[in-house]
Amino acid sequence: MENDIQAIDNSIIEVKTTSFVIEQKMSSIKLDNDQNFKQINSKTEIKDKTKPVKISIPPPNLVSLSQAPYKTSVRQNFRTTSNDKISNWNKTSKFSPKNFIDNEDKFAKQNFKRDKNSQTIESKMSPKKNQIKKSASAVSSVNSQQIVYDQYWDPGSIAEGLSNGTLLNGKLRINPRSYEDAFLTDPSGGSDIYINGLKDRNRALNNDVVAVKLKEKYSWKVVDVFKRKIVEVISHFQREANLNGSLDNLIKKNEETKNGRNQNEKKDLIDLAPLCFSRKELLDKIPNNWLQRTGFVVGIIEKKNNRWAVGHLKLFQDKNKEFALFSPNDSRIPRMKIKLDECPSDFYQNPQIYANTLFMAQILDIPSNSKYAIGELKRSIGQDGNIEAETEAILMENGIDYSEFTDEVIQSLPATPWSIPQEEFDYRKDLRNVCIFTIDPATARDLDDALHCVQLEDDLFEVGVHIADVSYFVNEDSPIDKCACERATSVYLVQKVIPMLPRLLCEQLCSLNPDTDRLTFSVIWKVRSNGDIVDEWFGKTVINSAVKLSYDHAQKVIENPEKNFDLAEFPPIRKEFNLTQIKTTILNLQSIAKALRQKRFKNGCLVLNQVKLNYVLNKDSGLPFGYSVYQQKDSNRLVEEFMLLANIAVAHHIYEQFPLKAILRRHPTPNLKQLTDLSETIKSNGFDCDVTSSNSIQAFLETIQQDSTLSSLTLTCLLTKTMQLAQYFCSGSNIPKEQFYHYGLAVPLYTHFTSPIRRYPDILVHRLLAASLGHCTETSRDPTFLQTIAENCNDKKYSARICSEKSSEMFFALFVNECGPLEEVACVIQIKDHSFDVLIVDLGISKRIYCDKLDIIEESINYVNSDSKQELSFKWKVTDKHREEAIQKLELFTPVNVVLTKHESDPLKFNITLKHPNEKPVSSKLSKEIVEQKEMIDYQNDHETTNVFVQRIDTDPYICD
């Protein structure tokens, strides 16, 4: 009997090994207000920052903003050797950024059909595309290493599996650092399901909504901190069962790779117990929380990934004359076979000419028997390292439509000069004689909100929030509405903004510019000084802003309430009003805002503000002159409070009036498993964090902030990772009422009403509010369609955020390459066996540092990871520079000094290394020149007369808002 069990187990081990070999082969594929203003220093070594040097000449391969290539269809900044060739080739290629997503799939989920022959699920596509797909599939196996993917389940089986709980569904997340590791969030709030390798991922791409089946328990992945405990259980079980074989030797063999690095984090249970994994008795002895569940994709429910990629063209190693190899920059996208006749005509003869050229391609199909996808080459977009080319790549990969607005859209705009029609005054409340003004970042051009405050009695104030009436210009189903619905949001990059609406609306007709009559939608309250609301009014209005203030102007008043300011310190004020009125209004608003904020925090709101970098660019070269960290001050919080109050008030009103069509915004509770695990980690490192509610988390962060800013910023970063994204939804969808709750703000109902110039959901909300007041008819769109629009807005908002982050990372890398090395303070946030992650606190940037890049003795590395401790220690080498032996121990939240240096080959990347513990930190004192430059920028309203360009940033108050 024992021999039979051994034979069965050995056969399973053989299958497992074969699968492992296949996967191993596959893996070979491959500025408003801040004190810490930084300025470029062109030296190549760390220098005292009191002597900055301003860059005036751009480095090679960078283009000035005035030469932005979006104005022409052919780029003029390629290398001379390939310029004409690529330009001529591009002329033959038809492409528009608007074609990123097929029009038929814009707002409807992919419809699936079952192929009677292959039994696979395919998304709908045109006959022409199907013909290309079939042709491509027929030749996919030519000169390619094969991999056999499983067939997708049919739609009926998937629906049944989701219904009875045998399948899970959700968005697939692929690790950008390790493309073979993918994860699915557990809908019930448990730990993520791990999907290991390309085969288990089964042709699904990042962000696709997939159906996943869990594997048997013996294939679950061992949680690293419980590995030793599992080994003890298995050893004990083997001794009791008198099984042969040395477990310790087996584990040691499995843990080692050719470079000697520990691979525990990728082990599943079968790897640790191959001789007895089939014994149910053993499985019962191992708790489920010691393991991470694993699964495999059985079908793609919705293709959220747009299947577009930016990368480089290469020849295959065998010099194949039919196909070229397209290698995407994003490792999560599979490599593609491209027909040579789609490539530049001389590519096969002179591939080196195009080695540094970025191309764009689209995946047409991922065959079930090839490691390569079948792709179609669209066009070239520029050279490596070119800011505008790389920016275009970011936009393309994230499905952002950055094209010029069509003639149809432009023609639907009002003729200029435009003035408010007389009939609008007949039913709107005229507030032009009220002291109303805007408070925005100094760089803002799209002013979509304004405030007023009038004292009615000793303890009674009238407070109004006035929002640009964008829906007046954007009628439902008009050309401009369809365009805005598709774009869904404006995208804020470092050097430009991709607007949701044409600039005629964004910056002129809708923008609440000073001393100009404008149409608005208003919420007006009667409120006590303690924040109690006495009365509330919604309606359409006409205003004329008294002045355009920046946050810094308002902050000066808040910080100096008794000061008699000079008019020269402020922008021009409408002649009907004076500076005293402006000052009084700001102070009254501030007093009420503080009371409202206290109420919100008492109710359990959670603030997880993250670091945002704000860049200053040289207008001529387009290069960063410097950067600052965008900080929220009282003036920011003043505006924030009244915007939140308006959003909450409108949410309740439209839901009461339209319970099936209200467009709301919810913030789901955090992933309980991740939050609990983080809490245990925090506790084991000396912090007592109660994560049972948003209120308790906020109280914890406030306590830590009083003791240590470093710890506070680090813990905020880690807590943010456990949070889910806030989501737009239609109240008539299948989302239960109890899930309408907004966790971060701790309110039952919330929506977005205050930024219709840059967010499409706000326009939908304006229409609902107008219909509730009898100004227009109720939308004809049903709840299902409204929910589809809401989901598109969620996707586009997330894509816009990714683009903004990547743009900021790119410009920071450029900054480091020009002025580095830079020294920064960082905090350890994750520890692995041969690497560790740090958060550069002042920048909000997380980076990984590898031990083999440090000047340390490799044999001295000691890694400890248990349920109560995570630690990495090593010994630095003795050198001429460091003559004393130094042992460094890293734990979670250990502060360290890091050095950021220029990348060897890529100007848009930078290196990071750990500074020797015996080296003294470099001073980062601000120079007089930097301070003067910063002050000039902070209080500048018109940048046309300066030689700098200040980044415009998206100032949404919360990561969860």
Residue 693 pLDDT more than 50?
yes
Reduced to 3 states (helix: H, G, I; strand: E, B; else coil), residue 598 is helix
Could you tell me the pLDDT band of residue 673, with boundaries at 50, 70 and 90?
Answer: confident
DSSP assignment, residue 504?
A: I
**Is 554 exposed, middle or buried (CB count within 10 Å of its CB: 0-12, 13-18, 19+)?**
buried
List CB contacts of 938: < 8 A, sequence separation 6 or more: 31, 32, 33, 442, 550, 552
User: Order of strands across the sheet with 181-184?
Assistant: 193-196, 181-184, 167-174, 209-214, 295-302
Q: Which of the 8 DSSP states describes residue 508?
A: I
**825 φ/ψ angles, rounded to the nearest 5 degrees:** -90, 135
Provide the strand spans (E) within 163-281.
Answer: 167-174, 181-184, 193-196, 209-214, 221-222
Both tokens of 212, joined, read 């996943």
Give pLDDT, residue 247.
45
Whether the per-residue pLDDT at 850 is higher than 80: the answer is yes
Instruction: Give the pLDDT score at 953.
Output: 57
Q: Residue 281: pLDDT band by 50, 70, 90 thresholds?
A: low
pLDDT at 54 over 60: no
Residue 940 has pLDDT above 70, yes or no: no
CA 749/CA 488 separation, integer angstroms: 22
What is the per-residue pLDDT across 380-393, written as a single tens digit (0 to 9) for each?
999 988 899 999 99
Does residue 295 register a pLDDT over 70?
yes
Average pLDDT of 828-855?
91
Per-residue pLDDT band at 272 (split at 50, 70, 90): low
> For 363, phi and psi rounded to 5 degrees?
-75, 125
More confident residue, 166 or 217: 166
Note the pLDDT of residue 677.
Answer: 82
Are the CB atoms for 402 and 393 separated by under 8 Å? no
308 and 239 in contact (C-beta within 8 Å)?
A: no
Q: How many CB atoms within 10 Å of residue 129?
A: 15
What digits encode the pLDDT tens for the residues 188-230? Answer: 767 889 999 999 999 999 999 999 999 988 788 877 777 777 7
State the average pLDDT over residues 249-258. Answer: 43
- Which tokens in the block code for residue 322? 């039919």
Alpha-carbon distance of 645 to 83, in angstroms, equals 55
- Average pLDDT value for the chain: 79
d(CA 701, CA 708): 10
pLDDT of residue 280: 60
- Cα separation, 152 vs 114, in Å, equals 10
Phi and psi torsions of 805, nearest 5°: -65, -45
Which amino acid makes up residue 846?
Answer: S
Phi-psi region of 193 (alpha: psi -120 to 50; beta: other; left: phi over 0): beta
Token couple for 144: 């390619």
pLDDT of residue 955: 52
More confident residue, 760 or 16: 760
Enter the DSSP assignment of 742: B
Cα separation, 338 vs 362, in Å, equals 10
Lowest mean pLDDT among 201-215, 684-698, 783-797: 684-698
Average pLDDT over residues 914-918: 91
Please say if the pLDDT value at position 184 is more than 50. Answer: yes
pLDDT over 90 percentage in the chain: 54
Q: Is 449 among the annotated ligand-binding positions?
A: yes
Structure tokens of 224? 């690293």
Compute and round to an integer the Cα radius of gyration of the chain. 30
Q: Check whether 261 has a pLDDT greater than 80.
A: no
Q: Is the pLDDT of residue 790 over 90?
A: yes
Q: Examine the pLDDT at 336 and tell me if it is beyond 70.
A: yes
Which residue type does 425 have? Answer: F
What amino acid occupies position 98?
K
Beta bridge partners of 167: 213
Helix (H, G, I), strand (E, B) or coil at 881: coil
pLDDT tens, 745-772? 999 999 999 999 999 999 999 999 999 9
* 26 pLDDT above the threshold of 70: no
CB atoms within 10 A of CB 236: 12
Instruction: Report pLDDT digits (tens) over 73-123.
Output: 222 332 333 444 454 555 445 444 444 334 334 433 333 333 333 333 333
Tokens representing 754 are 């205050």
Give the DSSP letter of residue 736: -
Q: How far apart are CA 510 and CA 520, in angstroms?
A: 9
- The two beta strands, 438-440 and 548-550, are parallel
Q: Which residues contact 876 (CB under 8 A, 6 or more apart)?
A: 854, 855, 856, 857, 882, 885, 886, 887, 888, 916, 917
Given a cut of 90, whether residue 819 has pLDDT beyond it is no
Cα distance between residue 926 and residue 216, in whole Å:
59
Lowest mean pLDDT among 412-416, 749-753, 761-765, 883-887: 883-887
Distance of CA 13 to the CA centre of its chain: 41
Mean pLDDT value of segment 175-179:
88
* pLDDT at residue 275 greater than cutoff 70: no
Residue among 825, 818, 831 nearest 843 (CA): 825
Name 134's Cβ contacts closer than 8 Å, sequence gap at least 6: none
Give the pLDDT confidence score for residue 187 in this predicted structure: 77
pLDDT at 811 over 70: yes
pLDDT value at residue 692:
86
The CA–CA distances, whole Å, from 401 to 295, 394, 486, 504, 947 equal 35, 11, 9, 18, 30
For residue 892, give the amino acid letter.
L
Q: What is the pLDDT of residue 342?
A: 94
256-262 contacts, C-beta under 8 A, 24 or more apart: 261/833, 261/834, 262/833, 262/834, 262/863
Cα separation of 452 and 385, whole Å?
Answer: 48
pLDDT tier at 624 (50, 70, 90 boundaries)? confident
The confidence score (pLDDT) of residue 59 equals 29
If one compares 248 and 312, the residue with the highest pLDDT of the two is 312
Tell me what pLDDT residue 192 has. Answer: 87
The number of CA neighbours under 13 Å toward the Cβ of 684 is 15
Per-residue pLDDT tens digits for 429-470: 999 999 999 999 988 889 999 999 999 999 999 999 999 999
CA-CA-CA-CA torsion for 491, 495, 501, 506, nearest 10 degrees? 120
The position carrying tokens 């008539």 is 732
pLDDT of residue 271: 58
Q: Is the pLDDT of residue 67 over 70?
A: no
Three-state DSSP class for residue 413: coil
Tell me the average pLDDT across 762-784.
Answer: 96
**pLDDT tens digits for range 561-572:** 999 999 999 999
Q: What are the DSSP calls for 209-221, one per residue? A: EEEEEEPPGGGSE
Residues 432 and 422 sit within 8 Å (Cβ to Cβ)? no
**Greatest Cα pair distance in the chain:** 100
pLDDT band at 270 (very low <50, low <70, confident <90, very high): low
Which parts of 673-767 are beta strand (E)?
A: 727-730
Least confident piece of the model among 99-113, 175-189, 816-830, 931-945 = 99-113
Look at residue 250 and tell me whether its pLDDT is greater than 70: no
**How far apart are the C-alpha atoms of 300 and 298, rounded to whole Å?**
7
Alpha-carbon gap, residue 691 to 682, rounded angstroms: 11
Q: Which pLDDT band holds residue 158 (cuts at 50, 70, 90)?
A: very high
The residue ranking higher by pLDDT, 806 or 904, is 806
Measured distance CA(869)–CA(893) in Å, rounded: 12
Amino acid, res. 254: N
Nearest-angstrom CA–CA distance, 333 and 310: 10
Q: What is the pLDDT of residue 806?
A: 93
Instruction: Pick left, alpha or beta for residue 693 (phi over 0 → left; psi -120 to 50 → alpha; otherwise beta).
Output: beta
Closest CA to 551 of 535, 537, 565, 571: 571
Nearest to 828 by CA among 896, 914, 915: 896
Identify the bridge partners of residue 451 per DSSP, sorted by sequence position: 437, 465
Query: Alpha helix locations (H) across 273-336?
Result: 280-285
pLDDT at position 216 is 87
Residue 102 assigned ligand-binding role: no
Distance between CA atoms of residues 363 and 136, nearest Å: 11
Residue 90: its pLDDT value, please?
56
CB-side exposure of 946: number of CA atoms within 13 Å? Answer: 18
pLDDT at position 231 over 80:
no
Annotate 33-73 with DSSP letters as a single string. S-S--EE----SS---TTS-----SPPTT---GGG-GGGSS
Let me know: does 591 contact 585? Beta carbons within 8 Å.
no
Which domains, ranges and CATH numbers included, belong to the chain?
Answer: 75-108+306-383 (2.40.50.700), 110-125+150-215+293-304 (2.40.50.690), 408-666+726-806 (no CATH), 670-723 (no CATH), 821-924 (2.40.50.140)
Q: Which of the pair, 692 or 772, is modelled with greater confidence?
A: 772
Identify the residue with better confidence: 113 or 816: 816
Q: What are phi and psi of 242, to 5 degrees?
A: 55, 40
Looking at residue 620, its pLDDT comes to 79
The predicted model scores a pTM of 0.80
With cut-offs at 50, 70 and 90, classify the pLDDT of residue 25.
very low
Q: What is the pLDDT of residue 904?
A: 85
